[in-house]
Structure 1
Amino acid sequence: MIEYNEDDEYAEEAPEQKRGRSAKLIFGGSLMLVAAIATTVAANITINSNKKAEFGQGLFRISACDQWVGIAPTYTAATYPSGTSRVNGLKIMGLDAANCKGVNFKIQLWKTGSATALDLFVDSNGSNSNRVMLSVCKVCTISTNQQRLDAVSLINSAGQNIGYDDGWEYVDFDATTGDYRWFLQIPPSTPLATNSAVNRTTVE
């Protein structure tokens, strides 16, 4: 005679039901976490009438080609007056030049409460420049690392395209990380923006 016990059957099925409930709880919790992050991210986006865009901590949208990039300043050693360091470069992360052909975009650093961007350096014209202007080639092939480097050039404070290097500032492409790097050549260029003054970055 075969004995049938309903309790035994349910006892065997219980772990499966428990695992199912756990999976649902984890999935539901994940959705709530994603929603919370999305809300926080959305609250950190600012787009003003001049089409400058800011996004959280160091992420920015280039509106002309609808692309997000990361911007991170780099600094000199603390050898300037009062033991300060100054901005000597920018790391531009995530820029896909092939998607931004023909686009010029400007990067500026700001002090909180100021209506004027910080002067960054004295350029080859002897002028204080308060922006880094990058220009992506309009008609070009961009598929190799060398082409990615050649695709991006600089426009100085006088509005002249100076290629990727004029002896004062230069732009480079890191094939290992895929990042673009803007640097000051010191000397002859003189960095002006102190690290303590930089509170905000804009890209337009």
Structure 2
Amino acid sequence: MNPRLRLVGLPAVALALVAGVLGVQIANGGGTYEPLRPADPCVARPVESRAEGIDALTEHLVLLGLDGAACRLMISREALTLQLAEADEPTDEQVSALREGLHAAVERMEDDDTLPKISDLVDEALANADLNRFLEAAIKLLPASAVDAALKTDDVLHRAVDGLDLRRILAGLNDGRNLNAQMNAAVEQAVKEALVVRLRDLV
């Protein structure tokens, strides 16, 4: 074949291929485009985590809490994340909505029976606690049944949420992608501290 004819024919072949692909897309419903809508934060959605222990618990709590806050503010979780990342500091309304959302998340997890027993979290909470070895040993000697009878996971979580300095946590946010990580770290530390305080009261 003449090289010139080959060069002239290439665009026609490419155009035919593109037309064929477009035809298949349109035939399969690709002729219309609708952007994905953000999930409704007021509708309960499942939360899955690959983490374990307190990390998994707080990850679950934070995701549900952010949904709860967004629902109270009547915006999507994505919009709330963007607002928090763009502002120099959170508003009183945002702080209040987030705290209420976290408390509601604890209640939902209690109702769903997804909260672990407090005895399952003791070793992890004690791992980095600043306790003398005698007190730590005394706590570890407590039977799991006694710990679970005296302490409830939802109570410890509510205390942790009440102790969070949400304004400080959110004021340090400069990238929405870091919101979950910052919240998870802060809530995890608060849960450990609240649990250790309650364990000390048992000894």
Q: Which has the higher strand share?
A: 1
Q: Which has the higher helix share?
A: 2
> Normalized against structure 1, the TM-score is what?
0.32
| Bigger relative contact order, structure 1 or 2 (CA pairs below 8 A, ≥6 apart) | 2
> Normalized against structure 2, the TM-score is what?
0.32
